[in-house]
């Protein structure tokens, strides 16, 4: 058929018969099953059968199935999305991994207003490439108020203002995952007016490794950072260091499980990283817990897992995300030459794997350029 390549791929859509999907149209956003898919030369139609999943639907929305239809021209089908033409402004997202990732996050958001939940849902979906500030701020505000974190005895639940990550602005960055912020604020806690390398140990060490000098250039070069645990760790015993490695394994497991379920999944789906560097055992444990295929990751601590660098990945949200593993590059590791060598090697191989070049202001990830102005003020509110 002439011009067939520009028209929706009917077999790609027909294969979705009976599958779970996420449907968005106007104010409605539902978790549904798609049925009765019919594709003719002129049009496409299907039936949307909503499921009663928490966190979806505006108040009072129906659970009755309804028909959708669109002209073939203008409609689009990709491997994981189907959208109507100009007069059929809906989109349907498919993919077992994506739906399985989003449904529990939306259930977590159940208590929030539906407008906010809809914005969060859009940020979780694989398109478009922009992450607007609202949903990101929402994630961080929710995290600041998380009752489970606030009563966790392993945490000191207090940070100076402006300590949470800036908005990533767009999807597809290279994501560094560290352990927990220190009480002084950590990587993202920079003065509003001067973007200096300042006092934070991790930030100082990272900038040395990356050849960068400011959080602004870190953002411009396509990198991003989140902390596995969202609050500073409390001292466990007298004289013991405040680190994940000093915690009892039962505490490590509880903290990781909560961080992943309540916070990290939503952050990672929103950031949609092109690659992850897990720095330290907390980050590695979280990546294992996030992956929908944890058997694909080696057991053991960072020292063991890093031997497979270059071949590791996690599967999440319907994507395969390349993973590298290294020790946490803080002063106490960087001062020991054997550990510093390991960390430099792992950084080199991670950055080479993704063809990252700090001299290029735009790292080749998809989507338009991010705004140059940081928004510390709003991001930390």
Report the interface residues with Zn ion, using CB under 5 A.
146, 148-149, 262
Q: What is the spatial order of strands in the sheet that 174-178 belongs to?
A: 223-227, 174-178, 275-279, 319-326, 313-316
* Nearest to Zn ion of 227, 313 (CB atom): 227
Token pair 């294992």 in the structure block, residue: 288
> From the CB of 141, what's the least distance to Zn ion, in Å?
12
Q: Is 172 helix (H, G, I), strand (E, B) or coil?
A: coil
Q: Per the structure block, which two tokens stand in for 224?
A: 């991003």
> From the CB of 184, what's the least distance to Zn ion, in Å?
21
> From the CB of 145, what's the least distance to Zn ion, in Å?
9
Q: Taking the CB of residue 336, how many other CB atoms lie within 10 A of it?
A: 13
> From the CB of 173, what's the least distance to Zn ion, in Å?
23
Token pair 């520009």 in the structure block, residue: 6
Contact criterion met (CB below 8 Å) for 139 and 269: no
* Nearest to Zn ion of 118, 230 (CB atom): 230
Q: What is the distance between the alpha carbons of residues 139 and 102, in angstroms, rounded to a whole number?
A: 14
Contact criterion met (CB below 8 Å) for 366 and 169: no
Sign of the dihedral defined by the CA atoms of residues 91, 19, 57, 122, in that order? negative
Q: 172-203 burial by CB neighbour count: b if 16+ within 10 A, else e? A: bbbbbbbbbbbeebbbbbbeeeebeebebbbb
What is the DSSP secondary structure assignment for residue 234, as one 8-state letter? P
> From the CB of 120, what's the least distance to Zn ion, in Å?
16
What H or E segment, with its residue span, contains residue 175?
Answer: strand 174-178
Q: Per the structure block, which two tokens stand in for 1?
A: 């058929």
> From the CB of 150, what's the least distance to Zn ion, in Å?
8
Residues with Cβ within 8 Å of residue 160, at least 6 apart in sequence: 184, 185, 189
> From the CB of 325, what's the least distance to Zn ion, in Å?
24
* Nearest to Zn ion of 121, 154 (CB atom): 154
Read out DSSP for 144-170?
HT-HHHHT-TTB-----SS-SPPP--B
Nearest CA among 201, 167, 160 for reference residue 184 = 160
* Nearest to Zn ion of 148, 371 (CB atom): 148
* Nearest to Zn ion of 84, 181 (CB atom): 181
* Nearest to Zn ion of 148, 235 (CB atom): 148
> From the CB of 71, what's the least distance to Zn ion, in Å?
47
> From the CB of 260, what's the least distance to Zn ion, in Å?
10
Q: Is 4 helix (H, G, I), strand (E, B) or coil?
A: helix
* Nearest to Zn ion of 43, 141 (CB atom): 141
* Nearest to Zn ion of 140, 291 (CB atom): 140
Nearest CA among 95, 141, 114 for reference residue 267 = 141
What is the DSSP secondary structure assignment for residue 280, as one 8-state letter? S
> From the CB of 263, what's the least distance to Zn ion, in Å?
6
Token pair 């908005």 in the structure block, residue: 167
* Nearest to Zn ion of 188, 363 (CB atom): 188
């Amino acid at each position: 058929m002439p011009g067939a390549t520009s028209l929706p791929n009917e077999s790609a859509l027909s294969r979705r018969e009976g599958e779970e999907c996420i449907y968005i149209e106007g104010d409605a956003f539902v978790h549904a099953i798609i049925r009765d898919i019919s594709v003719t030369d002129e049009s496409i139609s299907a039936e949307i059968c909503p499921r009663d999943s928490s966190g979806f639907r505006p108040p009072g929305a129906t659970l009755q199935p309804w028909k959708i239809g669109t002209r073939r021209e203008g409609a689009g089908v990709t491997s994981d999305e189907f959208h109507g033409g100009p007069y059929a402004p809906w989109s349907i997202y498919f993919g077992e991994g994506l739906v399985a990732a989003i449904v529990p996050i939306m259930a977590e958001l159940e208590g929030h207003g539906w407008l906010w939940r809809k914005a969060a849902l859009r940020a979780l979906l694989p398109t478009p490439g922009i992450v607007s500030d609202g949903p990101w701020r929402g994630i961080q505000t929710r995290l600041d108020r998380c009752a489970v974190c606030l009563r966790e005895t392993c945490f000191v639940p207090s940070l100076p203002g402006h300590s949470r990550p800036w908005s990533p602005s767009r999807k597809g960055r290279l994501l560094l995952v560290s352990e927990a912020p220190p009480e002084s604020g950590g990587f993202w806690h920079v003065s509003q007016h001067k973007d200096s390398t300042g006092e934070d140990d991790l930030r100082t060490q990272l900038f040395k490794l990356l050849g960068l000098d400011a959080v602004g250039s870190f953002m411009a070069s396509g990198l991003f950072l989140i902390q596995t645990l969202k609050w500073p760790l409390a001292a466990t015993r007298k004289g013991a260091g405040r680190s994940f490695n000093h915690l009892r394994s039962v505490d490590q497991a509880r903290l990781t499980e909560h961080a992943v379920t309540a916070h990290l999944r939503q952050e990672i789906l929103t950031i949609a990283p092109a690659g992850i560097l897990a720095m330290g055992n907390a980050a590695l444990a979280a990546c294992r817990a996030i992956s929908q295929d944890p058997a694909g990751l080696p057991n053991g601590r960072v020292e063991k897992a890093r031997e497979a660098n270059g071949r590791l990945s996690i599967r999440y949200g319907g994507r395969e995300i390349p993973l590298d593993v290294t020790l946490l590059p803080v002063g106490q590791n960087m001062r020991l030459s054997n550990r510093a060598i390991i960390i430099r090697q792992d950084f080199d191989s991670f950055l080479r794997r993704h063809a990252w070049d700090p001299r290029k202001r735009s790292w080749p990830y998809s989507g338009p350029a991010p705004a140059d102005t940081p928004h510390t003020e709003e991001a930390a509110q």
